[in-house]
Amino acid sequence: MRSAPVRAMPPMCSSLDASFGATSAGATCNGHRRPRVPELPEVETMARVLHRSAVRHATIDSVKVHRPNVLRDCTPHALATRARGATLKNFWRRAKYVIADLSTGDRLVVSPRFTGSLDIEREGWARGADDYTAIVFAFTDGTALRYRDVRRLGTVALMTPARFADWEAGLGPEPLDPAFTDAIFAANVRSSRRAIKTVLMDQRRVAGIGNIYANEALWLAKIRPSRRASTLTLAESARLFAEARAILSTAVAQGGTSFRDYRDPNGQRGGFLELAKVYSRQGEPCVRCGTMLRSTHAIENRITVWCTKCQK
């Protein structure tokens, strides 16, 4: 699996189209509080499972698009024509997207959003489509890869190398990349006067972190989620970055966090929720000091859980 290049925060005018995937931590989904979205650990798990599976190196025999509205950067006919005969060479992750490199040079870019999944279908799979099947990639060996989406809010794009480079330029650095240094992180987050939790979830500044792991990292670093990012000292910034990296690595090892919908391509649930210190634990005592954990939706209209004593 390849790694993305590290760069400082891209220009605020991003090439990411809002209909394909927001670059920042928007507040609502159709005016309502958002459900839980797969973040770096969940999408990393999806990419790793696919990369280790027989789907990698499989040759696409046909593509059936059941829900054309999930497509970006291509039509159903263009996807079927350009993908047929191509081999899936590599699966990897960029931010909250699963990337599949094709032998033709094109790339599939999948944003699972709230309920999207990439399911591996073994030989002898049922070729019919249920209500949630959006796309089926059938392979010459009799297996298939099915993109399903209960809420139909995820997207699948087919990008040329030039289009992909333009799209990727709108994303921030990867937090688990060793080349992403404390200095770059500090420059990216301390330049904002917004709440530090909002800044952590801004995909132009740090790629892949969402609500779950922002809550956890801020608790571990003892930083109040609503605090202005510009007020962090260099030492606090470095501590936050270290804790964010640690919690993301732990979550990847656990296969991510599963709630109602998330499963990896083999149908397995993630196990991180049992290790969470604050997320979904509002009203419980802080495991560090015993103070009752509080919650609010005041930051980006997302659930924020924190300890009023530990986090300053």
Residues involved in catalysis: 38-39, 96, 302
- Give yes or no for a contact between 294 and 79, defined as CB atoms under 8 angstroms apart: no
What is the CB-side half-sphere exposure of residue 209 using CA atoms within 13 A? 30
Long-range contacts of the stretch 261-265 (C-beta < 8 A, 24+): 261/114, 261/115, 261/117, 261/150, 262/36, 262/38, 262/42, 262/117, 263/117, 264/45, 264/46, 264/49, 265/46, 265/49, 265/50, 265/53, 265/55, 265/117, 265/118, 265/119, 265/120, 265/145
Other CB atoms within 10 A of residue 12 CB: 10
Classify each residue of 268-299 as buried b or exposed e, where b means 16 or more C-beta atoms within 10 Å of its C-beta. Answer: eebebbeebbbbebeeeebeeeeeebebeeeb
For the chain, what is the radius of gyration of the CA atoms? 20
Other CB atoms within 10 A of residue 153 CB: 18
Q: Hey, what amino acid is at 252?
A: V
- Give yes or no for a contact between 157 and 164, defined as CB atoms under 8 angstroms apart: no
Q: Hey, what amino acid is at 2?
A: R
Non-local (6+) Cβ contacts of 118 within 8 A are: 46, 50, 98, 110, 112, 145, 146, 147, 265
